[in-house]
Copies of this chain bind each other. A is one copy, B any other.
Amino acid sequence: MKAYALLGGPTNLWPADIQARFRKAQKNGDLIVGVDRGSLFLEEMRIIPDLALGDFDSLHSNDLARIEKNVKDIRYSNPVKDWTDSELMLRTVFKDYGVSEVYIFGATGGRIDHFLVNLLMILNPAVREFANKICIIDQQNMLRFYNPGKYLIPREDYSYVSFAALTAIKNFNILGARYELKNYSGDYPRVFSSNEFLPGKNNCEISFEKGIVAAIYAKDVDRFHNLA
């Protein structure tokens, strides 16, 4: 079983086919998760989440009542807490539900503190072991995460792939891509951006001995796209 989670970020950054993705997932028996306002967004698409988490303090009481009536498993978080809602979501889907992967939507854009919480939750030591099972998706980006090791990074339907050291990093290599990197070590986060797969190649390779790396797949959108 996989999990599909919707967070409360700006709806205009969703992939255009988000409804179809969640419906298909529900049909397949995957776990549908709403995090805070994301639970309401799912309800508004007439998709009842299996699990809802959050403090829900930004919701109107009638909206919360509807969620409480429809959703079987609701976890209330404390606004003053060590774990953010998105960290709590990761812990719950992996430890309580044992899902094999989680696809996260609504995690980007809008308030930068919210986005950074959603990006850096991967670094929480209690969820690091699940890093390679987490995928964040929006309209023009897809993020995957890696613990130390050696990986083939598959070409996907994106023009660019960048790699970000999210922590201090040791002996980082990017091989078989347009811009190679060899034995880079650094004690602070750094992005190696706008890399590309080589023509005719279906993957590139990364390896590193210490730290956490994000692969950022991205595509350009028309500059007026969001103004339309």
Contacts and interface: CB of A to CB of B under 8 A. Distances in A.
Interface stretch (A23-31, A63-71, A90-98, A106-114): A106-114
A116 B226 contact: no
B116 A193 contact: yes
Task: Please state the number of chain copies in the assembly.
Answer: 2
Given A116-B191, A123-B188, 14 more contacts: A10-B223, A11-B227, A12-B226, A12-B227, A84-B193, A110-B221, A111-B140, A113-B193, A120-B164, A120-B188, A120-B189, A166-B189, A167-B189, A189-B189
Nearest to A12: B226
A189 B113 CA distance: 13
What range describes how many residues of A lie at the interface? 35 or more
A167 B165 CA distance: 11
A128 to B, nearest CB: 9
Given A10-B223, A123-B189, A112 B108 contact: yes
Contacts of A80: 179
Contacts of A194: 79, 113
B166 A113 contact: no
A110 B140 contact: yes
Contacts of A11: 223-224, 227
Interface in A39-93: 79-80, 84
